[in-house]
Structure 1
Amino acid sequence: MKTIGIIAEFNPFHSGHKYLIEKAKKITNANNAIIICSGNYVQRGTPAIFDKTLRAKAAILNGADVVFELPVIYSTASAETFARASVKFLDLLGCVDYLCFGIETDNIKALPTLAKILTNEPEDYKNMLSMYLKNGFSYPKARSKALSDYCSENNILNSLQVSQIIDQPNNILAIEYLKSLRVFNSKIKPVAIKRQGAGYNSSDLGRGFASASGIRNEIINNKPIENYIPDNCLNLYSDSEYLSTEDFSEILGYKLITEKEFDKYYGISKDLSNRINNYKSDFTGISDFIKDLQSKNYTYAGISRALLHIILDIKTEDVKEFIDDNYMKYGRLLAFNNRSSILSSIKENSSIEIVSKFSTYYNQAQGLTKKMLDIDLKADNLYRMIYMTKYNKSIPDEFKRQIYIL
């Protein structure tokens, strides 16, 4: 019995995600698909458009067998930490044979090469990276330029080939997955699958599979999305209201006027903290504030994540503590297919506890485990409160949340 692992956000789940699960199972001849999914907040530094249980349910209805939640400190982290924690999660489950992921490039063979360079960091590469960082480039841009220079000078790939790979979001994540597998010396085998249809951030909905970004725009603009999602998701989405970044603006605004030192938060340097203080008097909303803070040194996504960490009170010292403590202590179930036997296999082989009843596990938790649960709980309570305030609807809290079982 073969099992694939997929790391995802499903924000929202769409036909391209269904294709990935089906294709991955087919080419690996796997029986089961385990999903590590972001909860109510995602890696681009925003709230998920729909609640985590709804998105997990959509996955189970379309080929996934088990969906676990990735803790919020990792789901909102940089690509490297997001990938590292997710791969570690799959490794600790003890029964995953393949890690399957989408890529934009046709040059699949180049990905392991780039991953090896970025893992080993040869001295020449480090010197190039340091030079670009000193010249004021953001880390992602500096890394891209340094990698291009290093590969060109060593006749590995030319600059155009490197930039075409490293500048695409799914390729970046793919490289981070490969790096993580190397770092952990994992037995899980990587399987790259060419992305079909629109690119990751594309708003183009007219060819093949649409991107999650394009579908989110349609939802926000109250436009039909039935052509881009599985049929069994239509009622799920039509019966659900969405949240957006701007819904959290008042929370951030309050934090900005009540605090001055922001470099304690994960992803915020002293320089960015000063920049936040310099611009906060003009704050009118999150999206415009991110644009105000943007510069050569800071990307939109990086700032978005940083501001979300202020909102959610996620501090650098906490994240470091969790990473140093082997990343994961538990795997919280969001949904599973009762017809699959994979959950029993996970429980037999996993090195971490599987959480099916949150209240019982929470009440017994101690130390760093309790601390991680508290950070997730606070973040989920905020998501819930903003949703209920916006729509004047009551929804269950985390202690009453039901795991979806097909």
Structure 2
Amino acid sequence: MRATGIIAEYNPFHNGHKYHITQAKALSGADFCVVAMSGDFVQRGEPAVCSKHIRARSALICGADLVLEIPSIFATGSAEDFASCGVALLSGLGVVDNLCFGSECGVAGPLMEAARYLNREPEDYKARLREGVKSGLTWPQARSQSLQQAGGLSQEALNALGSPNNLLGIEYCRAILRQNSALKPWTILRLGNGYHDDRLNGDQASASALRKAMAAQTDSPLMEETFNRYVPEEISDLLSGSRPLFPDDFSTVLNFALAERMRDGRGLADLEGMNYDLERRLSRLLISPASWEGRIRQLKTRQYTYTRISRALLHILLGITSEQAAVSRSAGYSPYARVLGFRRKAAPLLSAIKRQGTIPLITKTAVARKQLTGTALDMLNQDFYSSHLWQSIYFGKYGETVKNEFTQEIAVL
């Protein structure tokens, strides 16, 4: 029995994701595909447009055999934390042989070369990186420039540094090396529009383009004729029964969280992803209500990317602290595997995980708190909080009640 793993957000699920699942199985010769997926908030620092349960069911309908939730602390973290948690989760199952991810280069060798270099952190590279950040470059810009200048990488590896999927692939490879994981990295050439391309054209649109299209039709179901072109036909009915959420839907709750911190005199320095400069600039604006996007415009500078700021705002909203993240890293990033759904034919896979896995497999939320203790339980409670907040905003926007974390059934196909 062979299993291949995918780390994903599916925000939303589209034709490219279905292609990835199909190719991941074929490329690795796997019998099963296991997906580690973000929950109701995602790594770019935003709420997921559709609930994790709809996205998990979409993946199962389109070829995945088991979908697990990435703990919310790291699903909303930096690329390094997101990748480290996904790798730890898949490795902890004891049955996954490969990790398959999309990339712009289509070959794993240059990405693994860059990963080994970054894990070594040569002194010349580190010095140039510090200089780049001090000069006002964003961290990704400073890293790319430093790697170009420091030397030690092949031109093929250097060429891979400028593309978003390649960069995330490098983080997956770094995590595999750091954790001494048995996962073998495989990569599939990304087809269709680019990661950040927000145009609905070509054969495969990006998730960014689909989110933009969904935002333009928030008063109607997600699926319309132009949207159907980029979403697998077999999940169109599922998606048409859902309505999207966007960052600005959380503006009031964010303003409340900021006002509460000001009232209690807690400041913002203890929150994950916050630094002195961001805290100082945001603190001056605490009593000036703004939308989520408005906050980002208030804080945006050359040094801070949109995603960096949005992720910091999300950590304020969810109350995720630096200490909480550090303790969770020390607990192994993913000290449990929470099942969102599976195919019945994957029963042998689940049995093998129960025998060979090194982390608890959670299939029943009602008894999960009896399976976990300490940091693992704290992390799970953070997952519950995050999803219940998403569900509350969904109800407030649409007046539709959705099942909570204790009444929602696991998807079984």
TM-score, normalized by length of structure 2? 0.94
Which residue in the other structure is 1:119 paired with? 119
Report matched runs for 1:127-138 at 5 Å: 127-138=127-138
Inter-CA distance 155–334: structure 2 relative to 1 (3 Å threshold) = closer
Which residue in the other structure is 1:366 paired with? 373
Which residue in the other structure is 2:30 paired with? 30
Q: Count matched residues.
A: 401
Which residue in the other structure is 1:247 paired with? 249
**Partner Cα separation in structure 1 for residue 111 and residue 150 of structure 2:** 15
> Does the 8 Å contact 2:45/2:307 carry over to 1?
yes
Superposition deviation, residue 370 in structure 1: 1.9
> Does the 8 Å contact 1:102/1:194 carry over to 2?
yes
**Partner Cα separation in structure 2 for residue 266 and residue 321 of structure 1:** 12
> Does the 8 Å contact 2:360/2:371 carry over to 1?
no
Superposition deviation, residue 104 in structure 1: 1.2
**Partner Cα separation in structure 1 for residue 216 and residue 302 of structure 2:** 31
Superposition deviation, residue 126 in structure 1: 0.9
Is 267-276 or 198-207 further displaced after alignment?
Answer: 198-207
2:239 to 237, 240, 247: 237
2:318 to 312, 315, 324: 312
1:192 to 184, 187, 191: 187
Structure 2 letter corresponding to 1:104: E
Which residue in the other structure is 2:395 paired with? 388
Report matched runs for 1:155-174 at 5 Å: 156-157=154-155, 162=158, 164-174=159-169
> Does the 8 Å contact 1:4/1:24 carry over to 2?
yes
Is 275-284 or 29-38 further displaced after alignment?
Answer: 275-284
Inter-CA distance 336–15: structure 2 relative to 1 (3 Å threshold) = same
Structure 1 letter corresponding to 2:27: I
Superposition deviation, residue 284 in structure 1: 1.8
> Does the 8 Å contact 2:249/2:393 carry over to 1?
yes
Q: Could you tell me the percent identity over the aligned residues?
A: 37
Indicate whether 1:334 and 2:336 are aligned: no
Which residue in the other structure is 2:220 paired with? none
Structure 2 letter corresponding to 1:369: A
Indicate whether 1:398 and 2:398 are aligned: no
Which residue in the other structure is 2:209 paired with? 214
2:259 to 251, 254, 257: 257
> Does the 8 Å contact 2:271/2:319 carry over to 1?
yes
Indicate whether 1:178 and 2:173 are aligned: yes
List gaps (5 residues or longer) in structure 1: none
Report matched runs for 1:56-67 at 5 Å: 56-67=56-67
**Partner Cα separation in structure 2 for residue 291 and residue 7 of structure 1:** 30
Indicate whether 1:322 and 2:328 are aligned: yes
Superposition deviation, residue 397 in structure 1: 1.1
Which residue in the other structure is 1:54 paired with? 54
Superposition deviation, residue 363 in structure 1: 4.6
List gaps (5 residues or longer) in structure 2: 218-223
TM-score, normalized by length of structure 1? 0.95
**Partner Cα separation in structure 2 for residue 249 and residue 156 of structure 1:** 45
Report matched runs for 1:277-292 at 5 Å: 277-292=283-298
> Does the 8 Å contact 1:279/1:293 carry over to 2?
no
> Does the 8 Å contact 2:96/2:183 carry over to 1?
yes
Superposition deviation, residue 220 in structure 1: 1.8
**Partner Cα separation in structure 2 for residue 296 and residue 35 of structure 1:** 35
Indicate whether 1:377 and 2:372 are aligned: no
**Partner Cα separation in structure 2 for residue 177 and residue 370 of structure 1:** 26
**Partner Cα separation in structure 2 for residue 129 and residue 336 of structure 1:** 44
Superposition deviation, residue 155 in structure 1: 6.7
Superposition deviation, residue 107 in structure 1: 6.4
Is 173-182 or 103-112 further displaced after alignment?
Answer: 103-112
**Partner Cα separation in structure 2 for residue 221 and residue 42 of structure 1:** 21
**Partner Cα separation in structure 2 for residue 91 and residue 18 of structure 1:** 23
Which residue in the other structure is 2:96 paired with? 96
1:298 to 279, 296, 304: 304
Inter-CA distance 282–168: structure 2 relative to 1 (3 Å threshold) = farther
Inter-CA distance 384–26: structure 2 relative to 1 (3 Å threshold) = same
Inter-CA distance 155–395: structure 2 relative to 1 (3 Å threshold) = closer
**Partner Cα separation in structure 2 for residue 369 and residue 267 of structure 1:** 21
Structure 1 letter corresponding to 2:375: L
Structure 1 letter corresponding to 2:273: G
**Partner Cα separation in structure 2 for residue 22 and residue 133 of structure 1:** 41
